[in-house]
Amino acid sequence: MLLKSPKGWELPDSAATPENFFHDRRRLAKLIAAGPVLAAMPALLASCEEAPPRTAQLPDPSASLYPVKRNPRYVIDRKLTTEAMATGYNNYYEFGSSKNISAKAQRLSLRPWIVKIDGLVEKPFEIAIDDLLAKMPLEERVYRHRCVEAWSMTVPWSGFALKSLVDLARPLSKARYLKMTSFQDPETAPGQKASWYPWPYVEGLTLAEATNELAFIATGIYGKPMPKQNGAPLRLAVPWKYGFKSTKGIVRFEFTDKRPVSFWEEIQAREYGFWANVNPAVSHPRWSQATERVLGGGGRVPTQIYNGYGEFVADLYDGIKGENLFM
């Protein structure tokens, strides 16, 4: 199928969503085969609108941990996105493919939330979220957040350096990658009933990326616990990469010597690769990445290589040959 590539500034978000993988022929064939599921879709999405179960409405027991002290090292020259925008305009396909999933995400129950740390580590273990939070040094970092769909925000994340979790895990020397897996519960998250997506959502980093000082596990925003729609209780924030790498609702950190195939990579590797580093000079196959729309009235601005974080991360990629580092 031949598609006209719109210019970046012509691109409505709806056209840029990763769901455009539907234009891929093999996906389309699978989708047609999934006809009955598709026919059931309005019903599935409607069921998300129901009131959240009682356990999902309990107050967040981590609330007293916030606000945490801002780390002044990560300064950026943009206005903070408003909290209403950052918590009301989300991508979370587990709850549907629109940006307006915040009400639906309230169905997610955050306690108990057990995190598994396993694979190539000295001793695999499981830890309850509140025990993990008690062990981690929490701080606030203001980061740019650049979606592959060519919009951006500036968000004050609270959380901890991913390196602290890697240190807690004690990976073996043969571990080369960290694979992060999101929760799977189709009854709560009806988007997961769509069988053409490779659930659960999985993302991966090299261990060098995971231990880079910028890699952050966010547990809150705007001085409060993380809202469910933004990925509570644990989500990744790797601001030099496109937003789809920053997986939400993480339940497992697995150390491995094999490069994980991530969720969108499995769907359409030509458009959403493993590396996904931001680069204005490398277009998405169907739109330009040269500029981005700053949500909340910030207009359209030039995109920066590594989303402006080259001084921290560019050397991670020295000597890597034959890979598309920017897709």
Q: Is 216 in the site for ligand MTE (CB under 6 A)?
A: no
3-class DSSP state of 25: helix
Which residue pairs from 99-104 have beta carbons closer than 8 angstroms and sit at least 24 positions apart in sequence?
99/13, 101/48, 101/229, 102/227, 102/228, 102/229, 103/48, 103/49, 104/45, 104/48, 104/49, 104/190
> b or e along 239-261 (b: 16 or more beta carbons within 10 Å of the residue's beta carbon)?
bbbbbbbbbbbbbbbbbbeeebe
Give dist(CA 297, CA 129) in Å, integer: 36
| Identity of the residue, 120 or 247, whose beta carbon is nearer to ligand MTE in the bound complex | 247
| Identity of the residue, 120 or 144, whose beta carbon is nearer to ligand MTE in the bound complex | 144
Q: Is 147 in the site for ligand MTE (CB under 6 A)?
A: yes
Nearest residue to ligand MTE, by Cβ distance, number only? 243
Dihedral sign, Cα of residue 117, residue 119, residue 123, residue 125: positive
Q: Is 232 in the site for ligand MTE (CB under 6 A)?
A: no
Q: How far is the CB of 318 from ligand MTE (least distance, A)?
A: 27
| Identity of the residue, 182 or 307, whose beta carbon is nearer to ligand MTE in the bound complex | 182
Q: Is 308 in the site for ligand MTE (CB under 6 A)?
A: no
Q: Is 143 in the site for ligand MTE (CB under 6 A)?
A: no
Asked if residues 200 and 180 have their Cβ atoms less than 8 Å apart, the reply is no
Give dist(CA 314, CA 135) in Å, integer: 30
Q: Of 73-81, 87-95, 157-165, 299-307, which segment contacts ligand MTE by CB under 6 A?
A: 87-95
**Single residue of 81, 106, 154, 247 touching ligand MTE by CB under 6 A:** 247
Q: Is 91 in the site for ligand MTE (CB under 6 A)?
A: yes
Q: How far is the CB of 222 from ligand MTE (least distance, A)?
A: 12
Q: Is 90 in the site for ligand MTE (CB under 6 A)?
A: yes
Residue numbers at the binding site for ligand MTE (CB under 6 A): 18, 90-94, 145, 147, 182, 201, 230, 243-244, 246-249
